[in-house]
Amino acid sequence: MVQDRCLNFQGLVDMREPLSLAGQKYGKLTIIGRIKKHHLRTRWECLCDCGNIKIIDQSSIRNGHTKSCGCLKKERLKGNTNNKVHGMKGTIIYQTWRAMKQRCTNKGHVNYHNYGGRGISICDRWLESFESFYEDMGERPTGKTLDRIDSNGNYCKENCKWSTKKEQCINRRNPWITRRANNGTR
Ligand SMILES: [Zn+2]
C-alpha cells in the first residue's frame, strides 16, 4: 500500500510534468533525455547548438532562464562589444584610434619610424580598447587631430589633446625646446 502511494506520488509528479521535453528545443538547447531525479529536481540532458552537452534543471529550461550551455551568454557579451565597436567603425574617431595603433605597433606602417620605431607607445587602456580611448578623448573636434603634449611622450590620456595642424606644427618644430622647458620646471 505504502509502495502504491509512493508510485502514485511519483505518478502525480509526472502528471504535473506531463510533457516529455525530450526532442523539444528551447533556445539553443535540444532536450535529449531525462536524467535520474536528484534531490527531487527533474533534470534533462541537453544538447546545445554549439555541440556541448549539459544537464540542466527542468525549471530553468521551462522558465526560460537557461537557453544554452552557457555559450549564448558569452556570445551575447562578445556581441555587445563587437556591435558597439562595429557601429563606430566608420567614424572618424575610430579611424583616429586605429591610425594611432598602426603608427605605434605596425612596423610596416609608413610612419612607424616616427612613432613605434622611436619608442612611442600607447597606454594599455587605449591599446586594448577603442571604447576606453573614446571615453577619455571623446569625439574629435572638427579641424583638429590627436596630438601629444610632449611629442616624445606616449599616447595616453595625460599626454594627449586635440590640436589643429598649426598648433601641432609649432609643437613639432620645437620639440626639444618644449621638452627642455618642461624638464626645467620639474
Ligand atoms: Zn552552447
Ordered per-residue pLDDT tens for the chain, 186 residues: 333 333 334 434 444 444 578 899 999 999 998 887 767 788 999 999 989 999 999 989 989 889 999 888 777 776 655 556 667 888 889 999 999 999 999 999 999 999 999 999 999 999 989 999 999 999 999 999 999 999 899 999 999 999 998 887 776 655 554 444 444 444
Contact by Cβ (8 Å): 126, 97: yes
pLDDT of residue 80: 59
Ligand 1 midpoint to CA 52 (Å)? 5
pLDDT of residue 46: 94
Ligand 1 midpoint to CA 23 (Å)? 17
Ligand 1 midpoint to CA 93 (Å)? 35
CA gap 106, 109 in Å, rounded: 5
Ligand 1 midpoint to CA 129 (Å)? 27
Q: Which residues contact 167 (CB under 8 A, 6 or more apart)?
A: 147
Ligand 1 midpoint to CA 83 (Å)? 21
CA gap 154, 90 in Å, rounded: 25
Ligand 1 midpoint to CA 114 (Å)? 47
CA gap 78, 180 in Å, rounded: 46
Ligand 1 midpoint to CA 133 (Å)? 33
Ligand 1 midpoint to CA 141 (Å)? 44
pLDDT of residue 174: 52
